[in-house]
Chain A
Amino acid sequence: MSHVSAVVRPPLVTGGKSYHDITEDVCRQVEGKPTASWKIVFGISSVVLFLGTCSVFWTWWDGLGNWGLNKTVGWAWDITNFVWWVGIGHAGTLISAILLLFRQKWRTSVNRAAEAMTIFAVICAASFILMHAGRAWLAYWCIPFPNTFGSLWVNFNSPLIWDVFAISTYFSVSCLFWYCGLIPDLATIRDRAKSKVSKFIYGLLSMGWNGNTKTWFRYEYVSLILAGISTPLVLSVHTIVSFDFATSVIPGWHTTIFPPYFVAGAIFSGFAMVNNLLLIVRWTFKLQDYITIEHIETMNKIITVTGSIVGIAYITEFFIAAYSGVEYEQYAFINRAFGPYWWAYWAMMTCNVVTPQLFWIQSIRRSIMWTFALSVVVNIGMWFERFVIIVTSLHRDYIPSSWAMFSPTIIDIGDYVFTFGLFFFLFLLFAKYLPVINMAEVKAVMKSSSERFPYKVKPGKSTGEKVTE
């Protein structure tokens, strides 16, 4: 990659940081003792995780009857939460894979934390499958293998089984990608380690990395191959999640735009979650010079684009329902907007389509507070999107006598809380014991994109003007 940078490009590493500063700044919290604030937050998430775990155990002990489902609404919070978490789990691998293929230098500061987030979010999503299985210990029945129980076999025609394949593949490749990227940094920590125990552990984890040219060559090659594999995977996962609904004949579910629109929505919510996590990380770990306002602004732009794509998809669905002349389809959409769940629909519309448009204003895009708040709003909106799609399409089916409403029980809520506890528990462990920024890759863009070593193109030399700085 070339080190020449145009004058219009802002630096990605500020504060005059040197190569050594990167190592110091990122390794500091891995090597130091856990801070008090970390302990407090970790304590809170452990408590939440414990309470949630009780709820999950009760779900399994007592059975799914303790959820708020009824015979009309047979899918509600479980699948809403599942899709919500899977969606969040999209941004990490997207940043890593697609942005690597597009040679985006800004990815290097945010990819590590985003990928970790992906992995934890997918674990949270998977936990709803296990809960919904009722008998979690039989979950392996999802795997198609010849068995001794008779003629039992998975239904290959069902998009739910495609989900099992897609998500497990995605999870494996994401873990692999994340781990491969960690190896050089783990070696750095190994080489700096003072105690025997951490030397041993980080030594084991860094798999004998020796940093010679050949190893780096392989590192780059593996990254590129994994990026190539991950890119279609990122798309396939949420595509297949959308098939769970769209292959059916339920009005509001059966619509051909679902696959790309679900993918866009997933990227949308994933970036919002990355924003939230990184804003906290950069503040607590003092990484403002690596995760700069430029990074945040760029992510906000992606949120605006994907939010607008989602908005166009909403409007397209509405339009086609009207245009098609199919009365069931038309009713499904009118019921969404003006039926008993109107508040969920308008919450979705406001949070996903309207408020992200505030990011068109540069000062809002570059404001930490606005970014944080709007990112939370995005994920509220995306939760409502799934709820609206799932529950409003089901609760008034073809026979009015079976129309029903859904309300969550305390166990529904407790199971959702469980995943929050799990997510933050895992993320905090990651943030403490592993480097949250990919040091090696940030160092690779220092020449072109840092404040300290810039080689800037001077524009308009022929007319000799407009040279900034």
Chain B
Amino acid sequence: MAEHNHHFDPAEMEEWYDFTSSSKRKLIIGMLAGLAILLIGAFMVSKGIGIGIEHAHEHAGHGHEGHEHGLPGWAKRVVANLWMNAEFFTGISVIGMFFVCIQYLSWAGWSSILKRVPEAFPAFLPISGGILIILYFAFGQELFHWRHEGVMDPESEHYDAIIAGKSWYLNNAFFIVRTVLYIGLWYGLWVVLRNLSKQEDAVGGTEWWYKMKNLARVFILVFAVTSSTSAWDWAMSIDTHWFSTMFGWYHFASWHVTGLAVTTLAVISLKEKGYLRWVNENHLHDLGKFMFAFSIFWTYVWFAQFLLIYYANMPEETIYFRERFSGYGGIYKAPFFINLLLGFLFPFLWFMTRDAKRNQTFLKVGASVIIIGHYFDFYQMMMPGLVGANAGFGLIEWGTTLFFASAFIYVISAQLTKASIVAKNHPMLEEAVHHDI
């Protein structure tokens, strides 16, 4: 390929994204519509009118850790949806940072041409993280069994010795400190990385690459620990009695593949708008391989966790899958299997061939399916513990997701305008331009 007569000029690589006012308007309408649908949905459910799949209170439940406290079912469902989406989108955002850092640490060249896209994702962290913190302060007692009145108090009739035994980790102050720390560290390190990245554009030279590599080390060290602990805090502790050593990595694997799918969709939609001229089917192929491989990785982790619990069949562990399989009148069976179908089977077959990974339409379909599949992963992770028999899939779910998705796209688009979409002075850029697989 490229011989010495070839001309490569970083200045020509620069591309600036135009966040048009019509896109802004559409996204704001999306957010407002999401909120409106959410409110209408909540109102209707509270009045007992169902659109979509609604599970009313007549399901007797499956003896799960008391949901009789506090808010009415419909309100719990609203809170649960907000929590679940905030966590889901926090994951997508932080995976943007994770992806960029891994590219630096592994000396990847091909991705330098599109790295600005995932690099924009963590801009959403203050919003999704902020929502998590607000929800915890406002509804912590609704969300977490370990926050229920009296579970830690030996005098109380609600005393639960097992939960009380976890109070050294699951207590209000420590939980808040941890949550703030996760969001703060992830966002803070991203701000530093983003600044270095912009300075590289302005000044040029290879020193920024080395600096970002060093920063990537710090982030990966932080994330190696916090990706697991945040999963224990935000998701595993919902089912307070239950535990699994794999849970942190399983939760991370779900976030990761979703983040890759969102990256792919974002890259393709930018390309369709005429940006990222130098991104071609070779780069898309790599993104496709990533989605394929990490769908399988997620499945591997999912299966290992499931099989070991199923095989050993210890009551304190199997209850988790029992609840999802046959608990609450079997309402979680569908999301459980949709998750497996869309998270594993579909991408596994869909992305099997080389051609599929090089075709934009195929990639768009595959990426969307992965995102939906993992939405249901989080749904089945959280809802049984959060709302039990009051779960459903209707206007509340559609509205919340529409709101979060529109807000995410808005914030990311706004962030994309703040630097050239192509990191023109990235030392690996010419490798990426010549990428050919």
Contact = CB atoms under 8 A, between A and B. Distances in A.
A21 interface: no
A8 B428 CA distance: 8
Contacts of B109: 6
A459 B305 contact: no
Contacts of B289: 101
B54 to A, nearest CB: 34
Interface string B203-229: 111110110000000000000110010
B324 to A, nearest CB: 16
B425 A1 contact: no
Contacts, number: 141
A259 B304 contact: yes
Given A466-B205, A466-B206, A254 B312 contact: yes
Interface string A250-274: 0000111111100000000000000
A316 B232 CA distance: 11
Most buried by B among A2, A243, A260: A2
A2 B225 contact: no
Interface string A4-31: 1111110000000000000000000000
Interface stretch (A183-191, A320-328, A413-421): A320-328
Nearest to B296: A232
B430 A457 contact: yes
A23 to B, nearest CB: 25
A239 B303 CA distance: 11
B169 A4 contact: no
Query: On chain A, which size bracket covers the interface?
Result: 35 or more
Interface in B14-72: none
Contacts of B249: 257, 260
A196 interface: no
A168 interface: no
Contacts of A324: 243, 316
A2 B109 CA distance: 11
B283 interface: no
Given A256-B245, A256-B246, A455-B4, A7 B224 contact: no
A235 B10 CA distance: 41
Given A259-B300, A463-B203, A323 B430 contact: no
B431 A465 contact: no
A3 B436 CA distance: 10
B173 interface: no
A249 interface: yes
Interface in A324-359: 324-326
B237 to A, nearest CB: 9
Nearest to B305: A256
B8 A457 contact: yes
B427 A465 contact: no
Interface in B251-307: 289, 296, 300-301, 304-305, 307
Contacts of A249: 312, 314
B8 A8 contact: no
A256 B296 contact: no
A3 B301 CA distance: 37
B166 A325 contact: yes
A362 to B, nearest CB: 11
Given A4-B2, A260-B300, A312-B225, A460 B425 contact: yes
A462 interface: yes
B204 A466 contact: yes
Contacts of A125: none
A8 B165 contact: no
B244 A256 contact: yes
Contact of A466 (B8, B169, B207, B232): B207
A6 B431 contact: yes
Given A9-B107, A455-B3, A320 B312 contact: no
A71 interface: no
A468 B433 CA distance: 21
Given A6-B431, A254-B312, A459 B205 contact: yes
A111 to B, nearest CB: 18
Given A2-B434, A254-B314, 10 more contacts: A2-B436, A4-B1, A5-B431, A6-B430, A247-B308, A249-B314, A255-B245, A257-B245, A260-B249, A461-B9
10 contacts: A4-B431, A8-B209, A8-B210, A249-B312, A256-B244, A457-B8, A459-B204, A459-B205, A465-B204, A466-B204
